Amino acid sequence: MQNSEISRLFDDLADLLEIDGANAFRLRAYRNAARLISDLPEPMADIVADSERSPDELSGIGKDLAKKIVTIVETGSLPQLEEMQEKIPAGVVDMLRLPGLGPKKAAVLFHDLSITNLDELKAAAEQGQIHSLKGFGKKTETSILEGLARAQESIGRVFLADAKPQADAIVDSLAKLPSVKQISTAGSLRRRRETVGDLDVLITADDSTEPMNALAEHELIEQVLARGDTKQRVRLRSGLEMDLRVVPEESYGAALQYFTGSKDHNIVIRRRAQDRGLKINEYGVYRGDESIAGRTEEDVYAAVDLPWIPPELREDRGEIERAENNALPTLIELSDIRGDLHMHTTATDGTATIAEMAAAAKARKLKYIAITDHSKRVTMAGGLDADRLRAHWKEIEKVNAATSGIEILRGIECDILEDATLDLPDDVLAEADWVIAVLHYGLKQPQAQIHERLLTAIKNPHVNIIGHPTGRLIGKRPGAEMNISEILKAAADHGVMMEINAHPSRLDLNDTSAAAAKDLKIPIVISTDAHAVTGFDVLQYGIYQARRAGLEKKDVANTRTWAQFKKLLR
DNA sequence: GCCGTTTTCGGCCCGACTGTTTTCAGTCG
C-alpha cells in the first residue's frame, strides 16, 4: 500500500464527511493527514511494520488516525470510508468538482432533489428545478450547466503526473520478463501532454502469453477488459484504462510512431509518404508490398526524408517544417536546471523551514533557490505584510550565511490585487532579490481589468516575473480571460520574465503560450512552487511542458548560474 | 479529528467575494 493510496482514502473520506456535514476541524484533521502522508518521504507501511514505531509519532496523527492507518495498511481498506460510500453515492462527490458547488449545495441537491450523479444534475438544471431551491438561484443554475459542459470535456483525463508513475511501474515490471525484448509507452503520455486519457504500451516479445498474463496479474490492474493475440485492454485500480500491444520486432518503430501520434502529426507524415510513392501504417513503411522500414522510429522518419522528431513536438505545429530544415530544437533536459525561484516555507503555507527547503534543493543538485512566500492578501496562507516579510528576509540571510553549496535568495510572491495595485509597497519590493507578481483573486474579472492588473505589474520596475500567468487549474478552472500574446508583448517590452509553473495542475504558461514567449525572446523560468520538500519533484513536469513548447536550455533562464541569471534582470 | 494541557475540553489560520438575500450562507483560496 503506497502512501499516495492511503492519502487518497483519507481525502475521499473527508469529501464524504464534508457533504455529510461533519465538523470542519475533523475534516481538516483528515485532510492534514492525507497531505502529510502523501508528502512523507518514507513509506507509511514501513512505520506500521516497525514494532518500535507507530503512525502517531507524526504530528497531526493521533490515536484514532493511527488506528485507521494500521487498518488500511493491513487490510487495504477503511471500513469508515465504505460506510460513508454506502450512505452517499459517488456521483454526489463528483458535484464538488464543479465551480460554485461545494459540500453544502451538493448535500441539498442530494437530499432535496435526490440527485445522485452529474447526469441527473444536468437534467434537473435543464428542467429549471434547481433555481427555486433555497440558497440557489438562476445564476447558480446557469453556472452548473456551464461547469458540466466543461467537466465533460475533461472527463476521464487525468494529470500526466498521476498517469506517468502508474505507466512507469507497469513498464518496469513487464520489461523484466524474459520474453519481452523492447518496451515503451506511446500515445499522449509519451508526448507528455498535460493530461492523459488512457495509457498505451507497446512491446516486442517472442510470445504474447507471458506479458499478457503478467499484466493481468499486476498489482495496479483491477480488471482485464479484453484480450486477443496482440492486444489486451485492462482497467487499472485508479480507473485509467490501458492498451498493451504486442508487435513484431520488424514493426516496433512503425507501431511506436503510429501509436504515439498525434493524429494530426501522423496525417502529415503519411501524406509525405504518399508523395514519395510509399505507404506508412502501424506495421511499417511499404513500397508496394515490400517493407522498406519499420524496425525503429528513426528508420520510419528517414523513409520520408526527416530526422527523428521528439515525441513532445509531434502536434503538427510546425515541427515537420523545422525537421525538414534541420532546425529542430535541442530540447531542454531536467539536468539543465540550476535553480528554483518559486517556493514556500512555514512562514506562510509551506510545510518546511527555509533551511529544510535549502537542504532538499541542495540534495537535488540545485545551486540557488528563491524563497517566495505569499503576500498579505493571501490571508488563508498567513501572507506576509511588510514587517513580517522584512523579518523573514533577515531570517533567510541568516540561513544563507550558515549554508554552503547553495545560495538562498530573498523573494516574494506578491499578489496583484483586484484594483490593479500590488499587495506590497514599492520600497519593500525594491529590497527583494526576486519578485514574482501573481493573480490569485478576482480571476473572473473582465479581460480589460485583468489586463490592467497584469500591465500594472509588468510596468512596475521591481517586478521580475509573472507567476502562473493565467491562474488556470487544469480541468477545474479556465484561468483569467486575457489576450496572452498582448501580455507577452508587454512583458517583452519591459524585460519581465514569464514562469512555467511546474505544478501538474497548473503547468502555466502552457505549451503554446511558452512557445510564443520564446518567439518574443522572453526569458522563461521553470519553477516548482514547492510547498514541501517533496514539492521539488514536480520540476520534471515543468520540463516536459517546456519541451512541448520547443524550449532549449538557452531559452530557460534558470539553467544559468545565479551570476549569469542576474544579468537578465532589468 | 488533533493538540496541549489550567488532565478534560476548548481551540483549531480567515477575509473577500458571489449570489443570494435583505443580513448572510456558501465557496474559494
**Per-domain residue ranges of chain A:** 3-154, 158-246, 263-324, 334-566
In chain A, residues 172 through 211 whose Cβ sits under 7 angstroms from any atom of nucleic acid strand B: none
DSSP state of A377: T
Which residues partner with A552 through β-bridges? A331
Residue A60's nearest nucleotide, by CA–C1', is B2
DSSP assigned state of A534: G
Q: CB within 8 A of A170, min separation 6: which ones?
A: A199, A201, A215, A218, A220, A242
Instruction: Give the containing element (helix H, strand E) for A68.
Output: helix A63-75
Q: Where are the alpha helices (DSSP H) in A327-368?
A: 354-363
The DSSP element (H or E) to which A95 belongs, if any, is none
**Which of A270, A356, A333, A316 is CA-nearest to residue A530?**
A356
pLDDT > 90: percent of chain A: 66
A42/A475 Cα distance (integer angstroms): 30
Burial class (CB in 10 A: 0-12, 13-18, 19+), A394: exposed
CA distances from A525 to A250, A338, A371 (A): 42, 11, 15
* Long-range pairs, A67-72, Cβ under 8 A, ≥24: A68/A10, A69/A6, A69/A37, A69/A44, A72/A1, A72/A6, A72/A9
Q: How far is the CA of A482 from the C1' of B22 (A)?
A: 35
- Report pLDDT digits (tens) over A40-87: 767 799 899 998 899 998 888 999 999 999 999 999 999 999 999 999
Least confident window among A85-89, A254-258, A350-354, A482-486: A482-486
Return the CATH number of the domain spanning residue range A3-154.
Answer: 1.10.150.110
Q: State which residue has its Cα closest to the C1' atom of B25.
A: A135
* Angle formed at CA A392 by CA A388 and CA A393, multiple of 5 degrees: 120
Provide φ and ψ at A449, rounded to 5°.
-70, -40
Q: Which residue is nearest to nucleotide B1 (CA to C1')?
A: A26
Percent residues over pLDDT 70 in chain A: 98
- Higher-confidence residue of A478 and A177: namely A177
Mean pLDDT of A137-152: 82
Q: Tell me: pLDDT of A154 over 60.
A: no
3-state helix, strand, coil in chain A (%, to 5): 50, 15, 35
Return the pLDDT at A155. Answer: 46
pLDDT for res A366 = 98
A334-566: CATH superfamily? Metal-dependent hydrolases (3.20.20.140)
- Would you call the peptide bond into A262 cis, given omega within 30 degrees of 0 as the criterion? yes
- What sign does the CA torsion over A502, A503, A509, A512 have? positive
> What's the confidence (pLDDT) of residue A177?
93
d(CA A520, C1' B10) / Å = 58
| Rounded-to-integer distance, Cα A443 and Cα A6, Å | 34
A115 CA – B26 C1', rounded, Å: 19
Q: Verify if strand B has an atom below 7 Å from the CB of A103.
A: yes
Cα A291–A296–A302 angle (5° rounding)? 75
Q: Is the pLDDT of residue A165 over 60?
A: yes
A16 CB closer than 7 A to any strand B atom: no
Query: How far: A400 CA to B14 C1' (Å)?
Result: 32
What pLDDT digit, counting tens, does each position of A500-517 carry? 999 999 999 999 899 999
Task: Look at residue A479 in the predicted model and tell me its pLDDT.
Answer: 84
Residue A517 near residue A509 (C-beta atoms within 8 A): yes
Residue A26 CB in 7 A reach of strand B: yes
Where residue A415 falls (left for φ over 0; alpha for ψ -120 to 50; beta otherwise) is beta
The pLDDT score that the predictor gives to residue A151 is 66
How far apart are alpha carbons A3 and A44 in whole angstroms?
Answer: 6
Q: Do the domains A334-566 and A263-324 match in fold?
A: no
Residue A208 has pLDDT above 80, yes or no: yes
* Nucleotide closest to residue A57 (CA–C1'): B2
* C-alpha to C-alpha distance for A460 and A135, rounded to whole angstroms: 42
**Strand B reaches within 7 A of the A28 CB:** yes
What pLDDT, on the 0 to 100 scale, is given for residue A542? 97
Q: Is the CB of A21 under 7 A from strand B?
A: no
CA A352 vs CA A41, A148, A357, A369, A413: distances in Å:
13, 38, 6, 14, 17
| pTM, 2 dp | 0.79
Q: What is the pLDDT of residue A233?
A: 84
A379 touches strand B (CB under 7 A): yes
**Covered bases, chain B (protein CB within 7 Å):** 1-4, 11-21, 25-29
Strand A158-159 relative to strand A199-205, pairing: unpaired
Taking 60 as the threshold, does the pLDDT of residue A318 lie above it? yes
A263-324 is a CATH 3.40.50.1240 domain: no
In the 438-497 segment of chain A, residues within 7 Å (Cβ) of strand B are: 440-442, 444, 473, 477
Which residues have CB under 8 Å from A82's CB, separation 6+? none
**Average pLDDT of span A11-20:** 91
Question: Do the beta carbons of residue A561 and residue A536 sit within 8 Å?
Answer: no
The whole-chain average pLDDT of chain A stands at 91
Question: A331: Cβ–Cβ under 8 A, 6 or more apart, which residues?
Answer: A310, A312, A313, A546, A547, A550, A551, A552
Q: How confident is the model at residue A228 (pLDDT cuts 50, 70, 90)?
A: confident
Range list of H helices, A222-262: 252-260
Q: Which secondary structure element, helix H or strand E, spans residue A543, and what is its range?
A: helix A539-548
- Report the top-level CATH class of A158-246: alpha beta
Alpha helical stretches, state H, A88-179: 90-94, 103-113, 118-126, 138-153, 160-175
Q: A271 versus A569: which is more confidently predicted? A: A569
Q: Name the residue closest to the C1' of B13 by its CA.
A: A380
Give the mean model confidence (pLDDT) for residues A182-198: 92
Q: What does the pLDDT look like over A261-304, one tens digit per residue?
A: 888 888 889 888 988 989 898 889 998 888 999 999 999 999 99
Tell me what the mean pLDDT of segment A391-420 comes to: 96
Amino acid identity of residue A429, one-letter, is: L
Cell 503538427 found at: A316
Which are the contacts of A269, defined by CB distance < 8 A and separation ≥ 6? A257, A280, A301, A304, A306, A320
Separation of alpha carbons A547 and A533, rounded Å: 25
